[in-house]
Chain A
């Protein structure tokens, strides 16, 4: 049974820091891995999608890497800003290809 774990559960950093959010999954047989952002009271916004054959994806200040064999992904945020404050969720598609399995998320606070 696939399980997704995110570390840390919460993170508070000063503006300008580079930071890394971690995601691990127990079954390496995944189709893809996705990172989402959720703001309070809002839905999830897809940030990056990494196919199982890919190693990383980049979008602006965000870079996500995938090491399928070790069951790990990291989300790197460069030069963090207060507007980056949100909950970041990692999810994988595995087994039945039509469902996402989510981690519990990392709650990020970037203070000025």
Chain B
């Protein structure tokens, strides 16, 4: 089966610009997660979708971040306007069941650099 795919793999933008990251989960996986790692820190949870519904977005840093999953398939994460501290690697992951029992499958991540 195809894995979780993320696009783009790298993005370099200037402060104040907008960037949209995309994630295509494994087919049939209802659960989709966004995580990110900023420089020198641990990977941190951003939000969780079950199908098209946001189950938990407690990790979203502020209202400059907007995630969507229309139709319950792929998801986008938009950062508008980007700030320097948004630089990092953004990972998407999917699973068939919830965290309690199903291992997560991660994409390769999008490395975002805000200059």
Contact = CB atoms under 8 A, between A and B. Distances in A.
Interface of A: 4, 31-32, 34, 36, 41-46, 49, 51, 89, 91, 93, 96-105
Nearest to A45: B106
B17 to A, nearest CB: 24
The 8 closest A-B pairs by CB, nearest first: A43-B106, A99-B45, A46-B103, A44-B106, A102-B43, A93-B99, A43-B108, A98-B48
14 contacts: A32-B101, A34-B104, A43-B3, A46-B104, A51-B101, A89-B43, A93-B99, A98-B55, A99-B45, A99-B56, A99-B58, A100-B43, A101-B45, A102-B43
Interface string B12-46: 00000000000000000001010100000111110
A31 B45 contact: no
B98 interface: yes
Contact of A31 (B59, B93, B100): B100
Contacts of B3: 43
A41 B100 CA distance: 27
Contacts of B45: 99-101
Interface string B90-104: 010100001111011
Given A43-B108, A45-B106, A99 B100 contact: no
Interface centre among B42, B48, B98 (most CB of A within 10 A): B42
A102 B104 CA distance: 13
Contact of B100 (A4, A45, A91, A93): A93
Given A98-B55, A99-B45, A41 B108 contact: yes
A13 B3 CA distance: 32
A31 B56 CA distance: 17
B99 A43 contact: no
A101 B33 CA distance: 13
